[in-house]
Chains A and B, each alone.
Chain A
Amino acid sequence: MLSFARRHGAGYLFIVPFFALFLVFQLFPILWTFYISTQEWSGLGEPESVGLKNFRLLLTDPQFWDATANTLIYWVCGLVFILPLAMGISLLLNKRDLHGLRTFKTLTFLPYVCATVAIGLIFNIMFDTQQGLVNEVLGLVGLDQVGWLTTTTWSKVPVIVLNVWRHTPWFALILLGGLLNIPRDYYEAAKVDGAGAARTFWHITLPSLRPVLMFCMIMITVESWNIFAEPFIMRGPGTSNVSLFQYMYESSFRLFKYGYGAAIGVALTLILALVSIIQLFLMRKDADA
Chain B
Amino acid sequence: MNISRRTLLGSSLLLGASAGLSACGGSKPSPDSPSTPDGGVFPPGKMIMYGYGQPQWLLEYYNPWLERHQDIAKGVTIDMVQNEGEAQARQKLIQAMSAQDYASAADVIQTSRVSLLDMAKNDILVDFTDYLSGIEDKLVPGALSDSAYDGKLYGLPDSVRPQLLFYNQDILDTYGIDAESLSTMDGYLEAGRKLKTDSKGAVQLSQIDPTTLAWRYWGRRGLLPQAGAQIWGDDGSVVFGDSEGTRKALGYLGTLQSEGHLFVTKMFQAPLYDAIKAGKIATFYIGAFFDEFLRGNVADMAGKWRAQPAPVFEDVGTAGAPVIGLFCAVKKPEGQYSALWQQLWNDFQFDAEARQTWTTKMVEENAPYANPIALDLLKDPFWKEPSDFYGGQSFRETEALGLQNSSANLRVTKDDAEADALISPELEKFIAGDQSIDDAIKNAHEALKSRISTTDPK
Contacts and interface: CB of A to CB of B under 8 A. Distances in A.
Interface of A: 24-26, 28-30, 32-33, 36, 42-45, 57, 60-63, 121, 124-125, 128-132, 147, 149-152, 226, 228, 235-240, 245, 248-250, 252-258, 261-262, 265
A249 B4 contact: yes
B142 interface: no
B215 to A, nearest CB: 11
A65 B98 CA distance: 32
Nearest to B19: A46
B110 to A, nearest CB: 16
Given A128-B271, A151-B434, A256-B417, 13 more contacts: A29-B8, A32-B13, A33-B9, A57-B451, A62-B447, A63-B425, A121-B269, A128-B269, A152-B429, A249-B4, A252-B4, A256-B90, A265-B5
Interface string B102-138: 0000000000000100110110100000000000000
Interface in B143-180: none
A68 B107 CA distance: 40
B90 to A, nearest CB: 7
15 contacts: A28-B13, A29-B10, A128-B266, A130-B264, A130-B271, A131-B274, A237-B211, A238-B434, A240-B432, A253-B7, A254-B421, A256-B94, A256-B118, A265-B5, A265-B8
A130 B265 contact: yes
B270 interface: yes
**Residue of B87, B210, B270, B428 contacting most chain A CB atoms (<10 Å):** B210
B271 A132 contact: yes
Nearest to B115: A256
B121 A150 contact: no
A238 B440 CA distance: 11
Interface residues of B, number: 53
A120 to B, nearest CB: 11
> Sorted from nearest, which 5 A-B pairs have the closest CB atoms?
A29-B9, A238-B425, A44-B122, A131-B271, A237-B432
B212 interface: yes
B357 interface: no
B422 to A, nearest CB: 8
A132 B426 CA distance: 26
Contacts of A238: 424-426, 428-429, 432, 434
Contact of A237 (B98, B118, B210): B210
A237 B429 contact: yes
Contacts of B266: 124, 128, 149
Contacts of A237: 210-211, 425, 428-429, 431-432, 434
Given A236-B210, A252-B8, A254-B417, A226 B429 contact: no
B30 to A, nearest CB: 16
Nearest to B119: A44
Interface in B263-283: 263-266, 269-271, 274-275, 280
B443 to A, nearest CB: 9
A114 to B, nearest CB: 17
A9 to B, nearest CB: 30
Nearest to A154: B432
Contacts of B119: 44
Given A45-B121, A63-B425, A32 B9 contact: yes
B9 A258 contact: no
Contacts of A248: 4-5
A236 B433 CA distance: 13
B87 A254 contact: yes
A43 B11 contact: yes
Given A130-B263, A131-B265, A256-B90, A32 B16 contact: yes
Nearest to B211: A235
Contacts of B16: 28, 32
A32 B431 contact: no
**Residue of B4, B90, B91, B428 contacting most chain A CB atoms (<10 Å):** B4
Contacts of B258: none
B70 interface: no
Given A256-B118, A262-B8, A265-B8, A150 B275 contact: no
Nearest to B443: A62
Contacts of A63: 421, 425
B134 to A, nearest CB: 29
Interface string B338-376: 000000000000000000000000000000000000000
B436 to A, nearest CB: 15
Contacts of A25: 9, 13
Nearest to B270: A125
A226 B118 CA distance: 30
Contact of A45 (B7, B122, B265): B122
A131 B265 CA distance: 9
B432 A125 contact: no
A172 B431 CA distance: 40
